[in-house]
Amino acid sequence: MGTVVFLPGNGSDPMTLLVENLKKNFASPDGSTQAVVNIDHFVLGNAEQLAVEGRSGTGKTTFLNLIAGILQADSGTIAIDGEEMSGLSESKRDVLRARKIGYIFQTFNLLQGFTALENVILGMTFGPGADEEFALGLLERVGLKNRADYRPRQLSVGQQQRVALARALANRPRLVLADEPTGNLDSRSAFESLELIREVSLENRASLLLVSHDRRILERFDTVTRFEDINRATE
């Protein structure tokens, strides 16, 4: 079983993420219920960066979606920055997600009709509110200030991924979730992208929870947890 390591902090720093007795079932085609997520205990400390390794289909995305409040757990608790999410209504979970969570999707999920800058602004619109200057600053940090007016189809895959990163940080989140963020990139771009994600998350004091099955990426982390080790549903 992998080891969960906390970055040292003082006793007053709240844990960014605390998961307890989390369960999520889905209905199978034959009508039976199948457990997809069954996690007793999971924590992520303040500004901690953790990679979770797992094979495809083991429920990693479901786990991330539960943390993000996109899905509601059947039971258990999820607390973000001390704020209990699992008992909240969907609307309140949406608000919490807008304020505290940034999400980098596997295929980026950028809006094709919006420019890079507009995509980043969207990341903050439903939370702290649009701040064009801050959004431009993020694009500059990821090296895309000169591409601010470009639409996603006018950007390379690597550039799109950087826009997705900037968007994930636009609402100044406490927690960044990254679901296979380098899955569509070649090795060199993947490493560069990973370093950028880690650096920028650290600069913004956001904890990072990254899921991947790419060994080359996982090797870059000090702390890697195997999803099968924490998720009893995959036993």
Partner 1 sequence: MLFRIVRKSLRQHIVSTTVTALAIALAAGLVMSVFAIQRQTYAAFTGGDIGFDAVLGARGSQLQLVLNTVFHLETSPGNIPYSLYKEIAGNAQVELAIPYAVGDNYEGFRIVGTTEEIFTEFGFRRGKKFQPEPGGRFFDSDAQEAVIGSFAARETGLKIGDIFQPYHGLIFDEKNRHNDDYTVVGILEPTNSPSDRVIWIPLDGIYRMSGHVLRGAGENYTAQTGETIPDEAKEVSAVMLKFKSPQAGMNLDQLINRQGKAATLAFPIGRTMAELFDKLGWVNRVLELVAYLVVVVAAFSILAGIYNSINERRREFAIFRALGARRPTVFAVILLEAVSVAAIGTLLGYCVFILIMWATAFIVREQTGVVLDIFRFEWALVFTPLLMIIVGAVAGILPALKAYRTDVAENLSPVS
DSSP letter string over 5-52? -PPP--TTSPPSEEEEEEEEEEE-TTS-EEEEEEEEEEEE-TT-EEEE
- The helix/strand/coil state of 53 is strand
Backbone angles phi, psi at 33, to 5 degrees: -100, 135
178-197 positions binding partner 1, by CB under 8 A: 179-180, 183
- Does 91 bind partner 1 (CB under 8 A)? Our answer is yes
Helix (H) or strand (E) holding 181: none
Minimum Å gap between C-beta 161 and partner 1 is 13
C-alpha Rg value of the chain to the nearest Å: 17
- Does 228 bind partner 1 (CB under 8 A)? Our answer is no
146-175 positions binding partner 1, by CB under 8 A: 167, 171
| Spatial CB neighbours of 32, under 8 Å, sequence gap ≥ 6 | none
Which has the closest alpha carbon to 42: 215, 213, 209?
209
| Residue 22, strand partner residues | 39
Contact track, partner 1, 10-49, x by CB under 8 A: ----------------------------------------
- Does 142 bind partner 1 (CB under 8 A)? Our answer is no
Q: Taking a C-beta distance cutoff of 8 angstroms, is the pair 54, 61 a contact?
A: no
53-72 positions binding partner 1, by CB under 8 A: 54, 56-57, 60-62, 65, 68, 70-71
- Give the count of residues interacting with partner 1 (CB under 8 A): 41
Among 51, 121, 142, 208, binds partner 1 (CB under 8 A): 121
- Does 221 bind partner 1 (CB under 8 A)? Our answer is no
Residues found near partner 1 in the complex (CB under 8 A): 54, 56-57, 60-62, 65, 68, 70-71, 90-91, 94-95, 97-99, 103, 105-107, 109, 111, 113-114, 118, 121-123, 125-127, 130, 167, 171, 179-180, 183, 211-213
